[in-house]
Structure 1
């Protein structure tokens, strides 16, 4: 082993361990690995940021913008409403739901596809006799499977195509993944809808009626003799800290104020609306002279017309993950109240202002239509109730669909490389204003872009130093023992296992050089091994952290970490059983590439 090989091996092991730990976000880990590779002399400083110019990175960014255009034009909403059954049993409902999710994921970002269909799934689940989790987990897994069908279905496919181009061959085309990906998707959906959904544990999800906010809301009147008169709302909240609640609204002389300023002083006749434990609140309010007020049904109706209560799930890529409500200033900056939080089906036990938001949490927010829509769009939250549709904009929907279809056709027919075809599509979206220009860059998941761009030079360093070849030879000699089919299955299973615990794009970037090294060692077709990486990197079903879609359903489905393997393990077995023979059929091992 040379010095460069030893350094490369140590670097990749440390990087994988950091990915696995989850303590740092994946883009931070990737950038750290890149800088370390430059410092160790494994990557020339002049080439450190060449990854940002890679076609795969450009294509991912453009596809995300095109996906956004399909969403906000109403095209996907129309398709969902017309394709999903109004009634039916579990099998029919799940077959349609998963099939639609897989179809959308083949041509748009699969996180976006799941986000669009989640509210619909929650709505139709009770009619089909399904719990929220029994609808959400099959849908999430279906959208993950659908990403394997085309070049643009998921970032790992684009990464694999980029590595193929580096061998001297042309990159994989738009539908080169389809024979294997479609077979895997059809088999996976058939298993999920006929058998698999029964393996999903019935948990009490965090969506729907589980918050039961009526049990936590109380109104306190301020009589003339109350010692609270003249105190600020912040001071009153501090006095009522034992109740663990917050003042969410104030009514003064018939005017209803949502999320009032903490500096506002209380006067006689005010009505304070609090979210707190009722029994503790009554005891804590007595020293202040506050009394429980009776609710007026007419006033309650009027308030409900003015103020909305809506549930949202936190996306894995939300910029606000890791923050607390106090950090965000929800009340002071946005005029929004956070009334309740649930994680894995359980309501938060700590004070809400101290709750650190995580991906998959379900938040119950209160505010005006304008305040909620503006904040949640910026925050990266997904509504769980049935959403207001992006109402009929048939011209825009047809235009968005046409632009996406044209970009796909141009790439599939070889009229332009995928990066150019989808860049033209993004340019068309910008010119036609299908996506507001101010939202174009917000449509792109920059953490994924940085991850891809940073890991590619690191992967190149593995290849140049011979580290990937060394690792591949070790696996092939001591594990696969020179058997090409066994080696192919090993690459698939190892990739799938890594993808269950680390980002799938990072997994593909790490495994592609090893796959190419394995094919070179055995003298077989490298395309087969690259396709095994593509399937394995995408099909992660054992944990909630393996794929963003798995994380997204964690809160709404009320799932625990150990719930995923019950359906995920047999599903991965089905994927492996179908993928290996399909890869061998579509990419015969004996068809050795001219530039292995």
Structure 2
């Protein structure tokens, strides 16, 4: 091992550890990796940012814009209403939902497809008296399966295609991924529909009362001369137990007590942080003389948003799930100035698996949080749209704009056709589609750049030069040699299986695009040492990078359903593990048949 290879391995090990740790956002980790590689002299300074002009990066950005335009035209809402009968049974409903989201994910961003289908899935779960998670997890996994079927279905496919172009002078075509991807997707959908949905943990009781999340963390203020004023905390907790609620924190004179003792006497204006079910909040407030902290602030904080919205509109409560790429992540209600900017309140927060007892207004939000918001319906809708939240309660479907539906559909089909028939490179075809969307106003110009998931763009652009350094330093060849000599004993088929399993394992714990960027150089080196076609191994990387079913952090859609489904970190493997085993069993023979060694 040379010094350069050792330094690169050290940087990559740190990168993988940081991805798994999850403390820093993936684009931050990727940029730090690039800077470390530049500082070590592994990536030349004049090519450090060449990744930003890479065709795969351009294509990802353009596909996100076209997907957003299609998503907001009302086309998917119309399609869902036409295809989903209101009286279908459990298996039929799950089959239809997963099939629809799989088809959508093949040609649009799968996070966007999942966001559109989430409210439909939750309503279906309520009608069928299932827990939300029993429908949400199959739909999320279906969206992941759909992404692997086309070139533009998921960023790993574009990364893999880019490495093929670098090594062979030509990239994969639009539907080169389809023979294997479609077989895997069909097998996965059949398993999920017939058996898989039964393996999803039932974290909550389904019913017709609406969507039920985990307990909320809520701040309430002790009213002067209310029942709680002058009461010892232990006595209050006994009363709260009857409503299945508990005190998890107390704030007095701006000082927070994380574990208040039972003998402490409550005083007027004390702020209690309580954990309670949404349905219990009303009774708790009225019986104990408590007031929601946000309502206290509302009485003295009349805002511009309220003045412009009018005083006659009815306020509603709405549950919003924080999407993985939401602008809310890492920010608190206080940072956002919800009341002064939007005229809305954050009443409570549900975070499955971890419970924060910080002040509610100061708690930094993370992907998968479920927020209980109060305010005018239009203001809440505007907030959700701007900051990347999905409404979980039943929503009113907008009347589709027929002109925009046709326009966005034609533009998307034209871009796909241009790339599929090889008329122009994929990056050019989809960039032309974005230009057409702007010229014909299929998407407001102000929304074009908002539609791009910039952290993903930075991630790809930063890791591509690092991945190329794996080839230039010989680090990838060294890893390939170790795998061949010590694990597979020179067998191409065993090596293919090992590469697929390793890629799937990494993708369960780090971003799938990052996994593809790290594994592609290794796949090329393996093929070179075995003197076989590299296409087989690159396709294995594409399949493995897309199949992240074991953890909530492996794919954005897994994170998105964490809160609404009431899931814990260890819940995903129950359906995910047999699904990943099925993927290996189906994909390996398919790879050897369609992409022979």
TM-score range, shorter chain: 0.7 to 0.9
Aligned residue in 1 for 2:530 = 522
Write the distance in 2 (CA, Å) between the matches of 1:473 and 1:132: 47
Once the two structures are superposed, the pairs formed by residues 453-492 of structure 1 within 5 Å of their partners are: 453-492=461-500
Q: Does 1:390 align with 2:419?
A: no
Q: Does 1:105 align with 2:105?
A: yes
Aligned residue in 2 for 1:251 = none
Deviation at 1:128, TM superposition (A): 2.9
CA contact 1:476–1:487 (8 Å) conserved in 2: yes
List runs of 5+ in structure 1 lacking aligned partners: 224-233, 246-272, 289-301, 590-596
Write the distance in 2 (CA, Å) between the matches of 1:390 and 1:72: 10
- Cα deviation code 1:190-222 (max 9, x no counterpart): 000100111001112897245899x99999799
Aligned residue in 2 for 1:71 = 71
Q: Does 1:90 align with 2:93?
A: no
Deviation at 1:319, TM superposition (A): 2.1
Aligned residue in 1 for 2:211 = 208
- Cα deviation code 1:500-552 (max 9, x no counterpart): 00000000000000011111111111000000000000000000000000000
Aligned residue in 1 for 2:5 = 5
Once the two structures are superposed, the pairs formed by residues 295-310 of structure 1 within 5 Å of their partners are: 306-310=314-318
Q: Does 1:410 align with 2:410?
A: no
Over 3 Å counting, the alpha-carbon distance change for 1:100 and 1:219 in structure 2 is farther
Secondary structure of the corresponding residue to residue 443 of structure 1: coil
Aligned residue in 2 for 1:544 = 552
CA contact 1:149–1:175 (8 Å) conserved in 2: yes
Write the distance in 1 (CA, Å) between the matches of 2:146 and 2:290: 54
Aligned residue in 2 for 1:581 = 589
Aligned residue in 1 for 2:561 = 553
Over 3 Å counting, the alpha-carbon distance change for 1:167 and 1:571 in structure 2 is same
Deviation at 1:133, TM superposition (A): 0.5
User: Which residue of the other structure, out of 418, 423, 427, is the alignment partner of 2:431?
Assistant: 423
Deviation at 1:352, TM superposition (A): 2.0
Deviation at 1:275, TM superposition (A): 11
Aligned residue in 2 for 1:26 = 26
Write the distance in 1 (CA, Å) between the matches of 2:30 and 2:45: 16
Write the distance in 2 (CA, Å) between the matches of 1:472 and 1:236: 59
Once the two structures are superposed, the pairs formed by residues 560-575 of structure 1 within 5 Å of their partners are: 560-575=568-583
Over 3 Å counting, the alpha-carbon distance change for 1:346 and 1:280 in structure 2 is farther
TM-score, length of structure 2 as denominator length: 0.85
Write the distance in 1 (CA, Å) between the matches of 2:253 and 2:527: 69
CA contact 2:150–2:177 (8 Å) conserved in 1: yes
Over 3 Å counting, the alpha-carbon distance change for 1:220 and 1:304 in structure 2 is farther
Once the two structures are superposed, the pairs formed by residues 292-441 of structure 1 within 5 Å of their partners are: 306-344=314-352, 351-441=359-449
List runs of 5+ in structure 2 lacking aligned partners: 227-251, 256-266, 275-280, 297-309
Over 3 Å counting, the alpha-carbon distance change for 1:479 and 1:212 in structure 2 is closer
CA contact 1:243–1:281 (8 Å) conserved in 2: no
Write the distance in 2 (CA, Å) between the matches of 1:512 and 1:13: 16
Deviation at 1:89, TM superposition (A): 1.8
Write the distance in 2 (CA, Å) between the matches of 1:133 and 1:87: 20
Secondary structure of the corresponding residue to residue 438 of structure 1: helix
Over 3 Å counting, the alpha-carbon distance change for 1:51 and 1:128 in structure 2 is same
Deviation at 1:346, TM superposition (A): 8.7
Write the distance in 2 (CA, Å) between the matches of 1:33 and 1:243: 43
Write the distance in 2 (CA, Å) between the matches of 1:513 and 1:278: 63
CA contact 1:205–1:558 (8 Å) conserved in 2: no
Aligned residue in 2 for 1:123 = 123
Write the distance in 1 (CA, Å) between the matches of 2:35 and 2:160: 23
Aligned residue in 1 for 2:237 = none
CA contact 2:348–2:372 (8 Å) conserved in 1: yes
Deviation at 1:169, TM superposition (A): 3.2
Once the two structures are superposed, the pairs formed by residues 187-198 of structure 1 within 5 Å of their partners are: 187-198=187-198
CA contact 1:243–1:280 (8 Å) conserved in 2: no
Deviation at 1:304, TM superposition (A): 10
RMSD (CA atoms): 3.0
Deviation at 1:555, TM superposition (A): 0.4
- Cα deviation code 1:20-72 (max 9, x no counterpart): 11111110011011111111111110100000000000000000000011111
Deviation at 1:174, TM superposition (A): 0.1
CA contact 1:321–1:358 (8 Å) conserved in 2: yes
More divergent stretch after superposition (436-445 vs 352-361): 352-361
- Cα deviation code 1:345-386 (max 9, x no counterpart): 898765422332111011111112332122222211111123
Deviation at 1:449, TM superposition (A): 0.2
CA contact 2:51–2:464 (8 Å) conserved in 1: yes
Over 3 Å counting, the alpha-carbon distance change for 1:219 and 1:396 in structure 2 is farther
Over 3 Å counting, the alpha-carbon distance change for 1:276 and 1:446 in structure 2 is farther
Write the distance in 1 (CA, Å) between the matches of 2:98 and 2:547: 15
- Cα deviation code 1:246-269 (max 9, x no counterpart): xxxxxxxxxxxxxxxxxxxxxxxx
CA contact 1:244–1:276 (8 Å) conserved in 2: no
Q: How many residues align structurally?
A: 537
CA contact 2:223–2:291 (8 Å) conserved in 1: no
Write the distance in 2 (CA, Å) between the matches of 1:524 and 1:419: 29
Secondary structure of the corresponding residue to residue 554 of structure 1: coil
Deviation at 1:129, TM superposition (A): 3.9
Deviation at 1:328, TM superposition (A): 2.0
CA contact 1:119–1:385 (8 Å) conserved in 2: yes
Deviation at 1:111, TM superposition (A): 0.2
CA contact 1:90–1:129 (8 Å) conserved in 2: no
TM-score, length of structure 1 as denominator length: 0.85
Secondary structure of the corresponding residue to residue 524 of structure 1: coil
Secondary structure of the corresponding residue to residue 168 of structure 2: coil
Secondary structure of the corresponding residue to residue 95 of structure 1: helix
Write the distance in 2 (CA, Å) between the matches of 1:15 and 1:379: 29
Write the distance in 1 (CA, Å) between the matches of 2:395 and 2:292: 39
